[in-house]
Structure formats: C-alpha cells, structure tokens
Structure 1
Amino acid sequence: MHISFSVPDFDSPWRSTWEAAKREAPEGLTEMDLRYKFFGANVEMVVDGVRVISNSGFVTLVDLALSLSHAERCVSAGEDAEFGFTESEEVIYLRREGGLIAVTSSNQPWRVTVECGELVRAFSNFTREVHARLTSEIPGLAANPVIQRIA
C-alpha cells in the first residue's frame, strides 16, 4: 500500500490555496476553512495495484488527513470505517475481514484488500507527513487545535 501527496507547483492555481493560508493568523484558522478552503494537494493512494485515490486531481489536504486519521482510529479499534472527498461524491469503504481490510468504492467496481497493520501504518505515516509539511510551511499552525488533531 502506498499513499502520498505533493504540494502544487508555484505556477498552479492550487498553490494559491497554500499562499492564502500564509496571510491568515494560523492558530485561529477554523476547521471549516482548513478543511475546505486551504491546502489543495495531489494525493495518490494505491492498494494492491489499484489506484484508490488518483493523483490526477486535487483534494483539500487537511480534510483528507482528518478523515484518514479518524479511519485509522476506527480500524485500530476493530471497527469498519469510510472516508470521502470534499470535491467528489465518492466514498471509500474500509471493512474488516479477519486480519485484512477490504477497500471498496461507492463509484468504482474494484475491490482490494490490505493487511490491517499495513493500512494503519500507511495512514499514520501519511498524517504525520501532512502535519510536518503544514507546520514547516506555516510554523504557527502547530498551535492550531485542528492541525494538532492530525499529528
């Protein structure tokens, strides 16, 4: 399983979602703004050769990181989970099947499985990387309670 993100190039219109956040007081940015207004990024998630999240578009990074953090906690607790995307109606379902997690989509016909521990590690690493990148770009975000939930 592989999940990663990339920050838009400076000539991309999506880069403005990063630059706009730098003009705000970072510790006071609201959850709504962080989830839906700032930090557009390309994200790719591949499980067993299937591109679950395609890097061909942009997603709001904080929204996805918070969703994956929640999904990680649910799966770690032995529960099923799901996450969606601000920009799309698609929902990704994570269903426990013994020591495996079945990953399915509300919009796509594929079904893949991944070991529970591998999924948890991948989500955990991803959210740590998101936190590190956000706080390196804007150090004051480390004091923001929403961003603290990602770490």
Structure 2
Amino acid sequence: MIHLSFNAPAPGAPWRKTWDSVSRVDTENISEMDLRYKHFGASVDMTIGDVEIISKNRFVTLVDLALSISHAIGRLSAGEDAALGFTESEEVIHLRRDGDLVEISSTKRPFVVSVENGELVRAFEGFLEGVHSHLTTSFPGLIENPVIRRLSPR
C-alpha cells in the first residue's frame, strides 16, 4: 500500500511564510523558478508498506516536488526509469522499472522497495490532484498560472 500526502504548515510555523508571501504577488504570473524554490514549503509523507520513502518530518517545496512527480509519471508510463530530487538536500529517490514493478531506492538511506508501476502512477496522480486542488482553492488566481496548470488532473 502506498501513502502519499502533504500538509501545509500551520499559522505561525516557520515555513508558513512561504505560503503567506503568495498573497502579496500576482499569482497568475508567479514564475516557475519562484514556485519551485520560494513558495509553498510543506510537510510530505510517502510510505510504501512500512518503509518511509519521504519523512513526514521533512519540509520540501511542494511545487518543485509535484513537478518532479509529474515528470516521473511520464517517464514511468513510457517504461523508463525516473528520479525524484529535493531542492533542500542532496538525496535522490530512484525509481527503476523492472517489468511491471518499480524498484524504489534512496541515495542517502538504505532501503529498497518494489511496487506495481500502475499503483505508483495512480498514487502520484492522486497526489498531483490534491496539490492542484489545495493550491487553487487557497489561491484562486493560481488557476490561471501556467506552471500550476501543468499539475492539473489530466
């Protein structure tokens, strides 16, 4: 079973400023660079079975991760390997195709877990739908942002 979710920081939490700062800009025209690296720090939790792939105690820039996941969906769906990188650290999560399975490993932690490709792609798509919905509900102007549109359900 795959669990993949995120939580925006609570009011007053240090990463909250990465959300609050969005209300002071033209959301329709925020650049990809700013969306990837400046806004929307979030806690992300990804576990497969009992293996923690991304710790819920780790904050990442949500749009950067979502765009990486979007890219990974395309590669995995084409039968290719993919990877998820993190702006905040040197860790890379490798996604290696092995027939109908995807082997997941980390450059920094000693785990290897396999999951069915279709199940992983569906979990990734659900995550992107959740990110898109949360961001566009919280900041309606993001509906027109071309970068955020790339996260829209296909």
For 1:100, the equivalent position in structure 2 comes to 101
- Cα displacement (A) at 1:48: 2.5
Looking at structure 1, the residues matched to 146 and 91 of structure 2 have their Cα atoms a distance apart, in angstroms, of 28
Looking at structure 1, the residues matched to 102 and 135 of structure 2 have their Cα atoms a distance apart, in angstroms, of 29
- Cα displacement (A) at 1:53: 0.2
Per-residue CA deviation, residues 62-106 of structure 1 (Å, 9 max, x unaligned), is 000000010011101111100110101000000011111000001
Percent identical: 56
Q: Residue 112 in 1 paired to residue 113 in 2?
A: yes
Per-residue CA deviation, residues 45-69 of structure 1 (Å, 9 max, x unaligned), is 0013111000112100000000001
Q: Tell me the amino acid that sits aligned with residue 33 of structure 1.
A: D
For 1:90, the equivalent position in structure 2 comes to 91
Q: Tell me the amino acid that sits aligned with residue 20 of structure 2.
A: E
Q: Extract unaligned runs of 5+ from structure 1.
A: none
Q: Extract unaligned runs of 5+ from structure 2.
A: none
Q: Match of 1:51, SS?
A: strand
Per-residue CA deviation, residues 98-150 of structure 1 (Å, 9 max, x unaligned), is 11100000111110011101100000000010000000010000100010111
CA root-mean-square deviation: 0.6
Looking at structure 1, the residues matched to 3 and 78 of structure 2 have their Cα atoms a distance apart, in angstroms, of 22
For 1:49, the equivalent position in structure 2 comes to 50
Q: Residue 9 in 1 paired to residue 19 in 2?
A: no
TM-score (norm 1): 0.98
Q: Tell me the amino acid that sits aligned with residue 58 of structure 1.
A: F
Looking at structure 2, the residues matched to 57 and 77 of structure 1 have their Cα atoms a distance apart, in angstroms, of 30
Q: Match of 1:89, SS?
A: coil
Looking at structure 2, the residues matched to 36 and 55 of structure 1 have their Cα atoms a distance apart, in angstroms, of 19
TM-score (norm 2): 0.96
Looking at structure 2, the residues matched to 2 and 115 of structure 1 have their Cα atoms a distance apart, in angstroms, of 14
- How many residue pairs match? The answer is 151
Q: Tell me the amino acid that sits aligned with residue 97 of structure 1.
A: D
